[in-house]
Amino acid sequence: MPRRDLKLMGEPVLRQRANELPLQPGAPLPEEIRTLIADMFDTMYAEEGVGLAAPQVGEGVRVIVVDANEEGSEPFALVNPNILEMGSEVDRAEEGCLSIPGLREVVERPTSVVIEGIDADGNQVRMDVEGFVARILQHEVDHLDGILFLDRVSPLKRRMLLQKWKKVKPEEA
């Protein structure tokens, strides 16, 4: 499958709420969505990421792919993901983003989430996840809502990161 070009911070699609896809749970996904999912996995692996949201490849639809590269965790895609619950425990960990290469910062997030969506086979699924996978899911769903990890840090840290971005951003950004 072809690798798609990543959209970098500054691209309007990264700040817009992605559109929900009109799908019937249990029905096969349309070919163009299956192709998008395959292309997103290829792009994510080529960029050595652990998650990717459709807006990051210029598609304003609610699709994410995840591969935490952890034992016992399989790669998966979700269409129209919806976080139903967030755990009360929080953790602080460093995050980066394929759409903001060169920047990393500590972000506080709940350690567990309950999420539902439609899997790559067209089935409605509900997942109760914790740890690294929960963090990835929150990061990717934020992308679908036009939120970047920079929005989850203090205003001072955000200003510092934006100054650094001006120095490290790729020429095409």
Using CA atoms, how far apart are residues 127 and 69, in angstroms rounded to an integer? 18
Which structure tokens are listed for 69?
């590269």
Which structure tokens are listed for 79?
């269409």
Question: Which is nearest to 102 in space by CA: 171, 12, 2?
Answer: 171
Which structure tokens are listed for 84?
């139903």
Catalytic-residue membership of 31: no
Which structure tokens are listed for 46?
């080529």
Give me the catalytic one of 108, 140, 171, 172: 140
What is the Cα Rg of the chain in Å?
16
Known catalytic residues? 140
